[in-house]
């Protein structure tokens, strides 16, 4: 049983597909919507504006310190909803499996998705599985799509951001990137770094209030790329203070050794919030009360300098341009 592997017939749509669905997916995710087993899940009418987001996950390796591709697939999509102010409610999952994948590995990943979905309070209502020949995919890819609802009155939008607003990050940067690269390259550090992979929706609900203007989760491309995107959309400048950027010593050590800049490394459990100056202290205090926000830090200010320009003030007081990620950094990080 442990050594059973995925074969092409698991993707036929016939009896073996149904057995895989019943034994692996329905087992883990059982709920009244998924159990309808119709071509689409029919959900109860809901209040508020629907928010919809999608992400495909191709992270390599499948398992890493602090998570796995399944946990990541749930967190990534939950977080994309949460940063728009939506309460994530429903998930779909599409699997592309490579012939030869250990069913036991699939099972571990699916169990991890189910546990993470439960933590986040989202229900997986629809799924799909395809199988491709050995060599036509790398083990397993997962797409998750999320549907949430934004309560009336909540409106987050980069267009509300203006000079004087404060930039807060909810914790240490680059943990996920370094966790993946260590796993992949077989590096070991005296203090191993775990991925920060976590669903942020409950955490975000704890500090979401009028005056929070825009949130993002700095995944691929890291803090630097995300700030550049917001600055471009909002047509504002930004000034970030290097000394206020929270970093684990192990991450900053690994970055030095490997030549990575932590500001471009992916995070999977952090949020950037841009808030009106008068609520900065309150948001920070609320974040720090939650286990996911203990190291929250105010890292900079929105400016009226050149629109789209993000400047970093270094610890020795020099200013340099923090541009968007150019070229390739770390492939298959999520």
Span 83-122, contacts to a copy of itself by CB under 8 A: 83-84, 86, 90, 92-96
Is residue 225 a contact point for a copy of itself (CB under 8 A)? yes
Name which of 250 and 269 has its Cβ closer to a copy of itself: 269
Q: How far is CA 309 from CA 57, 233, 246, 280, 322, in A?
A: 31, 11, 22, 22, 8
Contact code string over 232-261 relative to a copy of itself, x by CB under 8 A: -x----------------------------
Is residue 45 a contact point for a copy of itself (CB under 8 A)? yes
Name which of 2 and 38 has its Cβ closer to a copy of itself: 38
Is residue 21 a contact point for a copy of itself (CB under 8 A)? no
Angle between helices 69-82 and 103-120 (to 10 degrees): 30
Q: Which of residues 140-199 bind a copy of itself (CB under 8 A)?
A: 141, 143, 145-148, 150, 157-158
Is residue 125 a contact point for a copy of itself (CB under 8 A)? yes
Q: Which of residues 302-331 bind a copy of itself (CB under 8 A)?
A: 324-329, 331
Q: How far apart are CA 110 and CA 314, in angstroms?
A: 43
End-to-end CA distance of the chain: 29
- Can you tell me which of 1, 3, 44, 316 binds a copy of itself, judged by CB under 8 A? 44
Is residue 208 a contact point for a copy of itself (CB under 8 A)? no
CA 156 distance to own-chain centroid? 18
What's the CA dihedral at 230, 253, 68, 1 to 10 degrees?
170
State the nearest-atom distance from the C-beta of 104 to a copy of itself, in Å: 22
Q: How far is CA 18 from CA 22, 23, 26, 29, in A?
A: 6, 8, 10, 15
Is residue 262 a contact point for a copy of itself (CB under 8 A)? no
- Can you tell me which of 4, 23, 128, 243 binds a copy of itself, judged by CB under 8 A? 128
State the nearest-atom distance from the C-beta of 281 to a copy of itself, in Å: 26
Question: In this chain, which stretch among 3-11, 110-118, 245-253, 307-315 interacts with a copy of itself, using CB under 8 A?
Answer: 3-11
Name the residue among 42, 48, 27 with its Cα closest to residue 90: 42
Is residue 293 a contact point for a copy of itself (CB under 8 A)? no
Q: How far is CA 151 from CA 82, 208, 273, in A?
A: 12, 12, 19
Q: How far is CA 1 from CA 4, 48, 107, 281, in A?
A: 5, 46, 11, 55
């Amino acid at each position: 049983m442990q050594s059973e592997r995925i074969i092409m017939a698991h993707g036929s749509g016939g009896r073996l597909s149904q057995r895989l669905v019943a034994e692996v997916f329905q087992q883990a995710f059982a709920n009244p919507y998924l159990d309808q087993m119709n071509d689409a899940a029919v959900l109860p009418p809901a209040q508020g504006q629907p928010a919809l987001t999608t992400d495909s996950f191709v992270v390599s390796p499948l398992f890493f310190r602090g998570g796995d591709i399944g946990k990541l697939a749930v967190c990534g999509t939950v977080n994309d909803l949460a940063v728009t102010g939506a309460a994530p409610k429903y998930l779909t999952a599409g699997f592309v499996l490579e012939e030869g994948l250990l069913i036991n590995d699939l099972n571990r990943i699916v169990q991890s998705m189910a546990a993470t979905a439960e933590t986040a309070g989202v229900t997986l209502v629809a799924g799909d599985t395809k199988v491709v020949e050995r060599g036509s995919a790398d083990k397993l890819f997962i797409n998750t799509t999320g549907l949430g609802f934004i309560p009336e009155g909540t409106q987050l939008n980069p267009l509300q951001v203006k000079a004087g607003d404060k930039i807060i990050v909810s914790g240490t940067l680059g943990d996920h990137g370094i966790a993946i690269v260590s796993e992949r390259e077989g590096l070991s550090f005296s203090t191993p770094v775990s991925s920060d992979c976590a669903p942020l929706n409950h955490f975000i609900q704890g500090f979401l209030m009028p005056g929070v203007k825009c949130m993002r989760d700095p995944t691929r491309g890291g803090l630097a790329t995300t700030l550049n995107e917001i600055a471009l959309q909002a047509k504002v400048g930004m000034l970030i203070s290097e000394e206020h950027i929270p970093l684990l010593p192990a991450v900053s050590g690994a970055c030095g050794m490997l030549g990575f800049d932590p500001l471009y490394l992916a995070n999977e459990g952090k949020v950037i919030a841009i808030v009106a100056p008068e609520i900065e202290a309150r948001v920070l205090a609320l974040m720090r009360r939650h286990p996911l926000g203990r190291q929250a830090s105010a890292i900079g200010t929105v400016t009226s300098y050149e629109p789209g320009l993000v400047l970093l003030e270094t610890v020795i007081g020099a200013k340099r341009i923090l541009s968007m990620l150019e070229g390739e950094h770390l492939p298959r990080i999520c």
